[in-house]
Structure 1
Amino acid sequence: MPRPSKGPRLYADPRRRQWIIRDGSHFRRTGCALDDREGADRALAAWLGEKLSLPERESRLAGITAGEVLIAYGRERAPHVRASATIGWCIKALSPFWAGRLLSEISGNSCRAYAEYRRAAGVSDGTIRRELTTLRAAIGHWHREHGPLDAIPAVSMPDRPAPRETWLTRTEAAELLLGALGWQAHACVIATRRPTLWRRSPEASLYRHVARFVLVALRTGSRHEAVLALSWLPQISGGWVDVDRSVMHRRGTDETETAKRRPPTRISRKLLPHLRRWRRLDEAAGIHHVISWRGDRIAKLRTGWDRARRFASLPDHVTPHVLRHTRCTWLMQEGVPIAEAAGSVGMSIATFERVYGHHHPDFQSRAAAV
């Protein structure tokens, strides 16, 4: 029995050293090098839009299908935003359920039916909200560019998931760093399941880039993609590290600010010596990126991260994003002012206080004293 198609997706061609679009048995070059993931994402979004033709202009809800609206959004709007790849995947997820439905059929009941349909496939409420947000944005785009619609249907969504509370203690972070350096736990305390005996793996040197990632993410609280994009010199797409001035720039020179804020941050005094040593090593080897694999930029940590986490006996839900939660939690536990802590990790003060404020040593201290 043949395997089901995975649909359009990006593939890193190691021979040509560029991104390729794979769609079943069809291959299409993007013309984007491996370090230009943003350009490849835009090419993928454009390809998804080209697979179907645009409909004629229509304003009546009863005469327009959601599939037509999604096609227009994927072709006209998605290629011009940073989250083009995310929009493409959301449209792919939305299409089987909504493609043949009229806009007049979009209601609270149909949105709840879609949520149940996606939950049955094992999709989380957070992902469902993101998909329905894309549907709502597509309707708004049609209203502006191909309308106006005689009415705008309301898109109902599942409740926002509670903030994740997963973060690492300093002992667990040290064990994760050991795992990234190739040390594997071979014995542990039965009651706590924490390692007590470590042995070094013969392949330890292959995953040093994971150790760099762990240190940078723990000491800056930057997002996964922002850390992997860091370079030693200013660049158009991706941040860079100014070791001489102790400042990390999270955005490239031509990149605009988005909702996922990426302001500059002062480099931690505990991280600065490591960065100076890494820069000397990389300059001698002609390597441009802070986190690299055989000299090349890494798009996403997968195998190396899973190996380090497994070596440290940490659970599967410890993902690279947990290091951002860990940094925020540690800042609060040390009593750093909320405004300064939020600015250092690139987060709004309101969000930082809502998610991490209870870790502050002075949290509701005056109220508790009454």
Structure 2
Amino acid sequence: MSRPRGEPRLEIDRKNAKGFYYIYYTEGGRSREKSTFTRSRKEAELVRAEWLIGRERPRFRPDPSEVLVTDVLNYYMVKRLPKVADPERIKHATRPLLEFWKNRTLGEITEDTCQEYTEWRERAVETMRRELGVLAAACQKYSRDGMVSMATSVFKPAKQEGRIRWLRAEEAIKLLRAARKVERASKHLPLFIAIGLLAGQRKRAILSLKWEDIDLENGKIDWNPVGRKRTKKRRPRTPIPRRLLKYLKRRRREFPEDLHVLTYQGKPLDDIKTSFAKAVMLAGLQAEGDNKVIPHTMRHTCATWLMQRGVDRGQICGFLGMTAKTLEENYGHHHPDFQSGARDAF
């Protein structure tokens, strides 16, 4: 009679104390072992988790109507999170998916239920596309790994026209002045706006910026610091615009102990959305509709101002960390109709 299959154990190679971690387990009445090919306990735990999932793969693949959506999403996170540069984005998108699809099966994912999810969330179209895109990726991974008998289609809302809203010089001035009046944000919000307008980087890149990533003496910023995986977001290393340099030096003098550039009471900011919206309203700019001003508008504005100055498109792509295709799709229709907004606003 074979021994019962116990819980697999993770240990350093029993034959070599300086070797890799091994998974020791019992199967078919025999003791077996599997190398994780790593000496890191953390990495070995991830290998063990993936191996356990594969070990429990069903011999007969179930029908989508027998598989819970929540199981598929959890499987996807175990497989995917260790391999992506920004796992928080997937976690953030997965939370509402887990809530809505709780106790529902893959067979219940239809065009109608996807539309129902969109109405339940009451978020922007791009947010819905991103979240349902995570669900689609999870379903695809589950099917590709042989965990279900057939693939499941996820229906996303149609893509909207890209936002082309950008600020004229007088609008930028109003926004900066309004930001100085926003309670509890008057110190950091104007600098966020200045960095966005003059450096053209995305919100998350600005909020995560640390002083160690900035060389004030030589005027350089590394938007993709050591330790962060390179992604399609193409964060570059760029010179600091002259008008921005003075704002950064002033901030450094005022908060010399802070690790991050943008902080509140010494702590890094999770988001800027609420205080930014208040500044937009105080400035009398559009806060609703297709022309509303959002943090990403700063990036559009920077790109537009650069094009209006006649800066070479290759230089713009390098400075903003975007592809030539993206630049053409979003800004190819812009024509210079007044002098550089950056010069007038700053």
Using the alignment, how far apart are the partners of 1:256 and 1:321 within structure 2?
22
| 8 Å Cα contact 2:180/2:190 also seen in 1 | yes
3-state secondary structure, aligned to 1:164 = coil
* Local SS of the residue matching 1:207: coil
Q: Which residue of 2 aligns with 1:196?
A: none
User: Against the structure 1 CA distance between its residues 99 and 281, is the aligned structure 2 distance closer, same or farther, given a 3 Å change threshold?
Assistant: closer
Larger RCO: 1 or 2 (CA < 8 Å, sep 6+): 2
Give yes or no for the alignment of 1:70 onto 2:45.
no
Distance (Å, rounded) in 1 between the aligned partners of 2:246 and 2:71: 55
Residues 1:338 and 2:313 are matched in the alignment: yes
Indicate conservation of the 8 Å contact 1:73/1:138, yes or no: yes
- Tell me the equivalent position of 2:94: 91
Q: 1:355 aligns with which of 327, 330, 333?
A: 330
Which has more radius of gyration?
Answer: 2
Correspondence for 2:229 among 256, 264, 281:
256
Residue 137 of structure 1 aligns to a residue whose secondary structure is helix
Quick one: structure 1 residues 143 and 264, their matched pair in 2 at CA, closer, same or farther if it must change by over 3 Å? same
Give the 3 Å change call, closer, same or farther, for CA 327–68 of structure 1 in structure 2: same
Q: Cα offset for 1:79?
A: 5.5
Q: Cα distance 1:291–1:105, how it changes in 2: closer, same or farther (>3 A)?
A: closer
Name the CA shift for 1:103/1:308 in 2 (closer, same or farther; >3 Å): closer
Q: How far apart in 1 are the matches of 2:188 and 2:85?
A: 26
User: Does structure 2 retain, via aligned residues, the 8 Å contact 1:342–1:349?
Assistant: yes
Residue 162 (structure 1) aligned with residue 141 (structure 2): no
**CA 1:158–1:305: 2 relative to 1, 3 Å:** closer
Per-residue deviation, residues 258-293 of structure 1 (Å, max 9, x unmatched): 12221112211221233233333333xx23322222
Compute the TM-score of the two structures, normalised by the length of structure 1. Answer: 0.67
SS of the equivalent of 1:92 reads helix
- After alignment, is 290-299 or 119-128 more displaced? 119-128
CA-to-partner distance for each residue in 1:196-242, whole Å, 9 max, x for gaps?
xxxxx9x7x96121111111111001111211222222xxxxxx211
Distance 2:149 2:176 in 1: 58
Which of 259, 266, 272 is 1:295 aligned to? Answer: 266
- Equivalents in 2 of 1:56, 1:100: separation in Å? 21
CA distance in 1, matches of 2:55, 2:262: 45
- Give the 5 Å matches for 1:125-204: 125-145=125-145, 147=146, 149-182=148-181
The answer to whether structure 1 residue 309 and structure 2 residue 280 are counterparts is yes
The one-letter code of the counterpart of 1:177 is L
Q: Deviations over 1:166-193 (max 9, x none)?
A: 21111000111111223xxxxxxxxxxx
CA displacement 1:24-49 (0-9 Å, x = unmatched) = xxxxxxxxxxxxxxxxxxxxxx9xxx
Shift of 1:163: 0.2
- C-alpha distance in structure 1 between counterparts of 2:100 and 2:147, whole Å: 25
Q: Aligned pair in 2 of structure 1 residues 92, 303: CA closer, same or farther (>3 Å)?
A: closer
**% same residue:** 34
Q: Is the 8 A contact 2:85 2:230 kept in 1?
A: no
Give structure 2 stretches of 5+ with no counterpart: 1-45, 47-52, 338-346
**AA at the equivalent of 2:277:** D
Match of 2:221, SS? Answer: strand
Say if 2:185 is the partner of 1:210: no
Q: For 1:135 and 1:312, how far apart are their aligned partners in 2?
A: 39
Kindly state the Cα deviation for residue 354 of structure 1 after the two structures are TM-superposed. 0.5
The 1:60–1:222 alpha-carbon spacing in structure 2 relative to 1, beyond 3 Å, is same
Rate the CA distance shift 1:88–1:219 in 2: closer, same or farther, 3 A.
same
Secondary structure of the residue aligned to 1:244 is coil
Name the CA distance, whole Å, in 2 between partners of 1:75 and 1:244: 43
Contact map agreement 1:207 1:304 (CA 8 A) in 2? no
Residues 54 and 71 in structure 1, CA contact (< 8 A), matched pair in contact too: no
Query: Does 2:248 align with 1:267?
Result: no
Deviations 1:326-347 (A, max 9, x none): 1112122222222211221111
Alignment partners' CA distance in 1, 2:98 and 2:250: 50
**Pairwise CA distance, 1:120:** 5.5
Shift of 1:54: 11
Distance (Å, rounded) in 2 between the aligned partners of 1:57 and 1:208: 54
Question: Are the counterparts in 2 of residues 221 and 324 from structure 1 also a CA contact under 8 Å?
Answer: yes
1:289/1:96 Cα in 2 relative to 1: closer, same or farther (>3 Å)? closer
For residues 63-105 of structure 1, the C-alpha deviation after alignment (integer angstroms, 9 at most, x for no partner) is: 4333321222234433653443332343333345544444355
Letter of the structure 1 residue corresponding to residue 235 of structure 2: R
Alignment equivalent of 1:220, drawn from 177, 199, 220: 199
Do 2:235 and 2:321's aligned partners in 1 also have CA atoms closer than 8 Å? yes
Q: Distance in 1 between matches of 2:325 and 2:273?
A: 32
Taking the TM superposition and a 5 Å limit, the aligned residue runs for 1:6-85 are: 57-58=57-58, 59-62=61-64, 63-78=66-81, 80-85=83-88
* DSSP 3-state at the match of 1:331: helix
